[in-house]
Chains A and B, each alone.
Chain A
Amino acid sequence: MDASLALRPYLAVCATRFALLLQYRTAALAGFATQCWWGVIKILVLAAFYRSDPHQPITLAQAITYIWLQQGFLAVLPWNVDAEITQMVETGNVGYERIRPIDTYFYWFAREAAWRTAAPLLRVVPMFALAGILLPLAGLGDWSWRLPSSLTAFAFFVVSMGLAVLLSAAITVLMDIMVTAFRTSRGSGVVAGFVNALSGMIVPLALLPKSLQPLLFWQPFAGLVDIPYRIYFGNFAGAAALWGLAAQAMWVVILVLLGRLFMARVMARIDMQGG
């Protein structure tokens, strides 16, 4: 079977779900308002921090851009499970997913990749319009979302965000499998804690102690936020950018393999009792 035929089901699942999720504009708008508010608060906190000690590995302007990127791409983060899969688990329907002649892992992966792409796409456009265009026009350029450091940086950033989406989808499917194994979505919030602390969501990882940097760079959650954003404003350039992409790609592969292993075990164990 050639590659396009092999991939056809998964691309179709992804495209269909992507189109469906793009319809949820009201939720995106509500999220946008909240994210603006959070962005302002976080920037004020960072500004105070830089005033006390301006010598940091990234400049204040870069840190501010980091915050706006966070707010714009917030919905990339894998901090919740797929509500439809939770519902399938709770109603006992999850086993019926296996009636399709496709690999259940990649079937779910395609769903989640669509979700982690469509949701941020709806939010990032208005966020950039506000923080990247309106703020400078209003004379608040110091507080704005800056353009990428170069065209090359932007190209690397696009690739890196793509990998961030795949990484997020892999983590989301792991959470889905966890829900399936335990038959409840309670407890999946633990993952959100790790995502927040280790991705750079709470504090840009560059601002954490120097001795921790290698460790922070090579853990899976950095690839969701910290690596792509630092590539964007040129903090990771050249070889550093390539290492960043490599770290992301490595974690995608590891988490996909792990997910497939768990999926096979959980699905073999599923019993569907009752009519």
Chain B
Amino acid sequence: MPQILVDGLSKCFRVAVRDPGLMGALRGVFRRRTREIVALDRVGFALDEGELLGFIGPNGAGKSTTIKILSGIMQPSEGKCVVDGLVPWRERTRHVARIGVVFGQRTQLWWDLPVVESFALLRDIYRVPETDFRRTKNRLVDLLKIAPLLDTPVRQLSLGQRMRCEIAAALLHSPRILFLDEPTIGLDAVSKLALRDFVKALNRDEGVTVILTTHDMHDIEALAERVIVIGHGRILRDSSFDAMRTEFQGDRRLIVEFEQAVPDVSLEAARLLSREGLVAEYAFDPRATPAHVLINRITTTHAVADIRIEDPKIEEVIARFYALHGATEA
């Protein structure tokens, strides 16, 4: 039995629509029209204890909706969902006591309270025994390096500082499952790296099951063995990130710097993408023509100062995937 089981999960939002202009507004008084927006369309997956799952997809794809349903704060329109034996929205208080959630876009701490008081309040809200609390808190404070921030009111923290405190706050009651909804949004590079390291260690060393949503492909690359790509409320792909990368990698880049000015050099089996001074950039398909063949070809005919081979950026891989499935933002 998997720890998290989602089956046929759908969510429709009903939004009021109004015809434009004054007449439209008047008509709306008498007859209200609504439009249905399908945020989730029969989503299903299963997750075992200790897995680390990444959710990616364009804005509005349904990632956050999934997290909200999984964390028990919203009901789906249809479908099944069992987390650790509980139906999240039906047995909400028992369920949320066992999970940790971080929403990157909102704070779960109390704005006016110093961090340490927020922690104390959470200790009482989650009914954590004092000795357990002290041990967990000290460990989290160490790992996330938030000791100097504890006496600062939350409203005075920078985003990176706040996010570290949010993560600590979500783990004070030692949940076995952690949901992270865009935890790295808006963070600087150093904070992102620190956060990834922490989440990775939490998953690897303590076996905490993690589901995270993100727009940052480097989060996925660094963290998730398994990725679900979601678009228009549907699961487009559920596989390991490496498999996806190999499949959608597409062309590789060959960048050549010539020793002296030459006219454009055309290469068999490679496309010239750009030319700037002495540097030319080619695209080629490594499955059709291996890199060494191309390099051999060009170095025998021209004097070459430098050669580089690059993989396309992860963003490009994903963009290609979205485009292929028509999953760009609605």
Pair B121/A99 contact, Cβ less than 8 Å: no
Known contacts A101-B93, A101-B97, A271-B13; A12/B74 CB under 8 A: no
Q: Which of A27-35, A49-57, A90-98, A122-130 contacts B (4 or more CB under 8 A)?
A: A90-98
Pair A102/B93 contact, Cβ less than 8 Å: yes
Interface 1/0 per residue, B81-97 and A, CB below 8 Å: 00000000000111011
A residues less than 8 Å from B71 (CB atoms): 99
B residues less than 8 Å from A93 (CB atoms): 106
> Roughly how many angstroms separate A129 CA and B73 CA in the complex, as a whole number?
49
B residues less than 8 Å from A268 (CB atoms): 75
> Roughly how many angstroms separate A95 CA and B106 CA in the complex, as a whole number?
12
Pair A270/B74 contact, Cβ less than 8 Å: yes
Contact of B125 among A101, A270, A274 (CB under 8 A): A101
Number of A-B contacts (CB under 8 A): 70
| Residue ranges of B at the interface with A (Cβ–Cβ < 8 Å) | 13-15, 37, 39, 59-60, 63-64, 68, 71-75, 92-94, 96-97, 101, 103, 105-106, 108, 110, 112-113, 117, 120-121, 124-127, 182
A13 at the interface (CB under 8 A from B): yes
Contact of B64 among A20, A101, A275 (CB under 8 A): A275
B residues less than 8 Å from A272 (CB atoms): 68, 73-74
B residues less than 8 Å from A99 (CB atoms): 71-73, 96, 101, 108
Pair A101/B94 contact, Cβ less than 8 Å: yes
Contact of A16 among B63, B97, B117 (CB under 8 A): B117
Interface size counted on chain A using CB atoms at 8 A: 24
Pair A275/B125 contact, Cβ less than 8 Å: no
Nearest residue (CB) in B for A268 is B75
Contact of B124 among A12, A95, A96, A271 (CB under 8 A): A12
Contact of A275 among B59, B93, B117 (CB under 8 A): B59
> Roughly how many angstroms separate A96 CA and B110 CA in the complex, as a whole number?
13
> Roughly how many angstroms separate A13 CA and B101 CA in the complex, as a whole number?
20
Smallest distance from the beta carbon of B235 to chain A beta carbons, Å?
A: 18
Smallest distance from the beta carbon of B219 to chain A beta carbons, Å?
A: 16
